[in-house]
């Protein structure tokens, strides 16, 4: 006999930072919620993130603090409260890689104009760093250097912290059928022991790039068009200093560098305009370009003996008419389906809060649980843990 479906208030599909924040928010709001992830927690955009809790400075380099800068600043304030244990979820003790970053410019009027714009457009402005107080890796940088109140966290530790209180609600499986049925949704999840049927009052789609296929399953793809913006992120490993900051040129972030540790030294995770242009280059050409950009932006850094690598990642988000990054989070309910794209790591708690505000009241009898023994997803590795490295000198 076919077992009856598992009846729940909410099924969250996708185990990245958006999904885990949403699961936590739903449970705290009294919903009986479960989460399913088809690969590993955070695989893709979350573990590829540099972990920067942007406070809006990067988005105000043109001199205008628009919706994206203001929303990032508000989101950063929420993170500050969570990291201090003053808001939920309590993230006190989360592995923090840096309590602040630096902002400096390349020589020239364009760089100066962008720096001035960032200073004028925000309520919380970057602080000037005196020459004697600059870290050694900024030796040789011309012009002013600023300190930014932007925290950098470990995204993988964040995933672990969000998963821990809800471990029994998280399962490894793939959604193979998704049908809206009036005020609820019927879902089939493929498991090693056979398919499971779920009847959920709502389904929250938080799978990033995977949302497109899920919406197609439900016949909703045309209502929630998605765009992909590819990146090629650079990585550098060796006897390097810990670097956190943005080198800007005009309204562009030329490179953004964050750091972590590996068994072979320090690894730099490099984004910014460099990563935006990377997909147009093959890896060899890109790595050579990345080395030259880093030497230009960090003239005091010694890259002798360092190893280089890169990886491609797709940023998935709601489609915009210009094809550019959306200005704010995207949360939209269509019948029993709620689609989320937080756009940026710092926005994920706000997206989860908006999704939970759109949730329906708990349903009587919606008290289902994952069966005993279902597989659980592991945490995805960081990109440098599986990289192939090469020397360029």
For residue 123, the model assigns a pLDDT of 46
| Average pLDDT score over residue span 27-35 | 98
What's 92-153+228-317's CATH class? alpha beta
Q: Note whether 6-46+158-225+319-383 and 92-153+228-317 share their fold.
A: no
- The hierarchical CATH code for the domain 6-46+158-225+319-383 is 3.50.50.60
> In this model, does residue 127 exceed pLDDT 90?
no
Looking at the whole model, is its pTM more than 0.85?
yes
DSSP annotation string for 236-259: EEES-----EEEEETTEEEEEEEE
- pLDDT tier at 369, thresholds 50, 70, 90: very high
Domain ranges of the chain: 6-46+158-225+319-383, 92-153+228-317
Q: For residues 83 and 171, what is the distance between their CA atoms, to the nearest angstrom?
A: 27
What H or E segment, with its residue span, contains residue 103? strand 101-105
The proportion of the chain whose per-residue pLDDT surpasses 70, expressed as a percent, equals 91
> Which of 52, 41, 48, 50 has the alpha carbon at shortest distance from 18?
41
Q: For residues 159 and 167, what is the distance between their CA atoms, to the nearest angstrom?
A: 11
């Amino acid at each position: 006999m076919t077992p009856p479906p598992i009846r729940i208030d909410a099924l969250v599909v996708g185990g990245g930072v958006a999904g885990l924040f949403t699961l936590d928010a739903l449970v705290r709001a009294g919903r009986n919620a479960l989460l399913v992830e088809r690969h590993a927690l955070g695989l893709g955009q979350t573990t590829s993130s540099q972990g920067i809790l942007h406070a809006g400075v990067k988005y105000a380099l043109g001199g205008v603090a628009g919706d994206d800068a203001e929303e990032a600043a508000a989101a950063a304030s929420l993170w500050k409260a969570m990291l201090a244990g003053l808001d939920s979820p309590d993230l006190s003790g989360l592995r923090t890689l840096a309590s602040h970053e630096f902002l400096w410019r390349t020589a020239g009027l364009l760089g100066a104009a962008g720096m001035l714009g960032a200073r004028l457009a925000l309520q919380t402005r970057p602080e000037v760093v005196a020459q004697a107080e600059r870290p050694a890796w900024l030796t040789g940088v011309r012009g002013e250097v600023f300190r930014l109140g932007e925290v950098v966290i470990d995204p993988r530790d964040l995933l672990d912290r969000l998963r821990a209180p809800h471990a029994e609600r998280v399962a490894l499986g793939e959604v193979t059928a998704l049908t809206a049925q009036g005020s609820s949704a019927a879902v089939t999840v493929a498991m090693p022991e056979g398919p499971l049927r779920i009847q959920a009052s709502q389904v929250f789609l938080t799978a990033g790039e995977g949302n497109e296929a899920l919406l197609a399953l439900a016949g909703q793809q045309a209502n929630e068009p998605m765009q992909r913006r590819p990146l090629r992120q650079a990585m550098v490993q060796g006897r390097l200093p810990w670097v956190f900051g943005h080198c800007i040129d005009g309204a562009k972030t030329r490179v953004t560098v964050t750091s972590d540790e590996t068994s072979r030294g320090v690894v730099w995770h490099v984004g910014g305009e460099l990563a935006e242009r990377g997909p147009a280059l093959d890896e060899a050409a890109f790595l050579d370009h990345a080395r030259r950009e880093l030497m230009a932006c960090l003239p005091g850094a010694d890259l002798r003996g360092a190893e280089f690598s890169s990886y491609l990642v797709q940023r998935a988000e709601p489609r915009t008419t210009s094809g550019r990054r959306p200005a704010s989070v995207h949360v939209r309910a269509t019948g029993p389906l709620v689609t989320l794209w937080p756009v940026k790591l710092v926005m994920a708690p706000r997206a989860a809060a908006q999704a939970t505000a759109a949730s329906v009241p708990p349903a009587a009898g919606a008290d289902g649980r994952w069966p005993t023994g279902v597989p659980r997803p592991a945490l995805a590795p960081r990109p440098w843990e599986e990289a192939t490295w090469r020397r360029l000198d």
